[in-house]
Structure 1
């Protein structure tokens, strides 16, 4: 019985650590040949996730025609076959409900429920991502995601060290300054880039990293009351030459 309690305690600790890490993870899209991969974690270190949490995976053509894509599970991750010519890819991901209690720390559930102990924070978590395949002028405006990073000029034409002005839009309007932040570099090699908290509804300049894959991440905490939140983690990816 003692060994069982120790094993159960270690298992609970691992689940708790995993839950805490998952809540802080980012998500982004990568086009590789004729597939669009959805990756979850941090550059250089990704984790598996339930395919069922992908609520929308969409390809958008140069004419702004939206086509629903079907995710396919592959070793704990997912990809979609690209059987058309898409200029932009986007995804919405439901990260379900989170509780942070004094007794148990962070825990993840499929829906709200009664939990043991004193709740510090609780709320819904969403992750959204966009991947620019080929730049089109319409991408300098919101494309309809709940929250998104919008580049104000073609980021694929920039070089290392250039500045890319971006706006964060929430529900089609400039994001509130309370609780919103965006990374100030797109350098894909930086696992935890410096974040700039929005202080006004003006563009933020993002420094372009070395040629190749680029990733800009954003965070937004929408407060409902003293303890309840809606958390958003969102990203914009593209490639420079």
Structure 2
């Protein structure tokens, strides 16, 4: 009897996140590390979560002239990463998180598309993202996504203490109503002109900027859009730095050899 109760509790604990986590709170974003662009999903302020790689539907890689570059999509355990050659200036991505039925204010359950009509309140959660690693006049223009965050200045050139002004766009047009913008887990107040001011920290944009917007519907199905924006400087070592590292390595090797010969 005790074993059966423990088993029941473990099953309940496993499925609980599917019910209590609002599906609209998750975003997808890129994070560059060690030569690859990791595709992450979750709450940026809490850290990434595992996901079904098949839900990531599209990536487009651009150079600074906004010309499309080839890339490779790499499978990891419960995640994906992207690798590309040189001159990567920006990446956009699309993640379809599927359908969730809302059972109460804090209860959601994932359902199949064929089950939509079985529930009164269903959301289709579509996630978009943009990441900048360089800046140009071409990249400063809208990407015409269903929902995107548009920086009104170069996010890579701002210094700590300054603010980045952004707009939220749908298909290239600014939207100001029913839009929520978050940064570092906090809702960002809207400026009178419909823009949002994002504070720049010691390392630039410390986390993705997030925005969410739901498209009104007359049926039981609501289309919910979430988007994110990241900007990362990718530093490439100068040839002189590489020479310095090589000399340092030789010096360490020489000292080790002297110690061994003692």
TM-score computed with the length of structure 1 as normaliser: 0.83
Q: Is the alpha carbon distance of 1:136 and 1:110 closer, same or farther for their aligned partners in structure 2, counting shifts above 3 Å?
A: farther
Q: Is the alpha carbon distance of 1:89 and 1:70 closer, same or farther for their aligned partners in structure 2, counting shifts above 3 Å?
A: same
Which residue does the alignment assign to 2:156?
156
TM-score computed with the length of structure 2 as normaliser: 0.77
User: Match for 1:62 among 50, 61, 64?
Assistant: 64
Q: Is the 8 A contact 1:150 1:168 kept in 2?
A: yes
Q: Is the alpha carbon distance of 1:33 and 1:212 closer, same or farther for their aligned partners in structure 2, counting shifts above 3 Å?
A: farther
Alignment of 1:22-33 (within 5 A): 23=23, 24-33=25-34
> Cα deviation per residue 1:145-191 (whole Å; 9 max; x = unaligned)?
2210000110111112211111111122112x3321213x5xxxx3x
- The range that moved more, 44-53 or 1-10, is 1-10
Displacement of 1:14 in angstroms is 3.0
Q: Is the 8 A contact 2:131 2:231 kept in 1?
A: yes
Alignment of 1:25-44 (within 5 A): 25-43=26-44
Unaligned runs of 5+ in 2: 236-262
Q: Is the alpha carbon distance of 1:103 and 1:9 closer, same or farther for their aligned partners in structure 2, counting shifts above 3 Å?
A: farther
> Cα deviation per residue 1:20-48 (whole Å; 9 max; x = unaligned)?
43712222111224211111123352111
- Find the aligned partners of 1:178 and 1:199 in 2 and give their Cα distance: 12
Q: Is the 8 A contact 2:22 2:106 kept in 1?
A: no
- Count of equivalent residues: 231
- Find the aligned partners of 2:19 and 2:76 in 1 and give their Cα distance: 22
Aligned-residue CA RMSD (Å)? 2.9
Q: Which runs of 4+ in 1 moved over 4 A?
A: 1-6, 198-201
* Bigger share in helix: 2
Q: Is the 8 A contact 1:211 1:239 kept in 2?
A: no
Which residue does the alignment assign to 1:46?
48
Point out the structure with max Rg over C-alpha: 2
Q: Is the 8 A contact 2:188 2:196 kept in 1?
A: no
Q: Is the alpha carbon distance of 1:201 and 1:147 closer, same or farther for their aligned partners in structure 2, counting shifts above 3 Å?
A: farther
Unaligned runs of 5+ in 1: none
